[in-house]
Amino acid sequence: MIVEGPDGSGKTQLAHQLCEEFNREYRRPPPAALSSTHGPTGGSLVAWWDNHLARPWTFLRAGVYDRCFYISDPIYQQAQVDRDLIVAPHVLARGIARLWSIEPVMIFCLPPFDVQLSNVRHDGRPQLEGVSAQALAKIWNAYYAAYAVWSQALFDNVLLYDYTEEDAWEKLLDKISSI
């Protein structure tokens, strides 16, 4: 399972809930490799993901991943146009193909933008200081586009989650159980 979405969308909380519900390990790359504002550092994040994607299905199935570089980096790159590229296009394409081939269950956390923006501003996320509401809206919008693309490729394995909806958690569990 991979939980995706923009900063402030509830993905980390959801990933932890899923771990508890399904007795799985929470997985996220090392903090030193992550940054929503400046992008991941060097090749460490790519290496971490490539290592995980090369592991056996039994290992992958035992975890819930909090965001995936191969989905999130192209999105954040477009909204933060001055950010340096981390990987060459062929490396990004290869990573996406590897991710695609394992057919993960992907959950895109996309509450209404005003909720997400409020979460980002309320939580005082230092990594997003100086990122405008317009840039955050572009990220949110790009995640909807990514959801649409991935859902056409992996069909029922791709779910949309808005924790502000009534009975959202129960509905999500029902959908996951049917996969």
pLDDT tens digits along 125-169: 766 777 889 989 999 999 999 999 999 999 999 999 999 999 999
Kindly list the distances between the CA atom of residue 39 and the CA atoms of 31, 46, 65, 80, 156, in Å, as whole numbers in the listed order.
12, 12, 18, 9, 30
CA atoms within 13 A on the CB side of 168: 16
Q: How confident is the model at residue 122 (pLDDT cuts 50, 70, 90)?
A: confident
Residue that wins the pLDDT comparison between 32 and 54 = 54
Residue 124: is its pLDDT beyond 90?
A: no
CA distance 59 to 44: 20
**Tell me, what's the pLDDT at 41?**
61
Q: How confident is the model at residue 84 (pLDDT cuts 50, 70, 90)?
A: confident
By C-alpha distance, which of 67, 52, 74, 66 is closest to 138?
74
Tell me the pLDDT tens digit for each residue of 3-43: 999 999 999 999 999 999 999 999 999 887 776 545 566 67
Q: Which residues contact 7 (CB under 8 A, 6 or more apart)?
A: 36, 116, 120, 125, 127, 128, 136, 139
Q: What is the mean pLDDT of residues 71-99?
A: 86
CA distance 157 to 163: 19
Residue 80: is its pLDDT beyond 80?
A: no
**Tell me, what's the pLDDT at 93?**
94
By DSSP bridging, strand 2-4 and strand 25-27 are unpaired
Which CATH number, 3.40.50.300, 1.10.30.50, 3.40.50.2300, 3.40.190.80, labels domain 2-178? 3.40.50.300
Across all residues in the chain, what is the average pLDDT? 90
Q: So where are the chain's domains?
A: 2-178
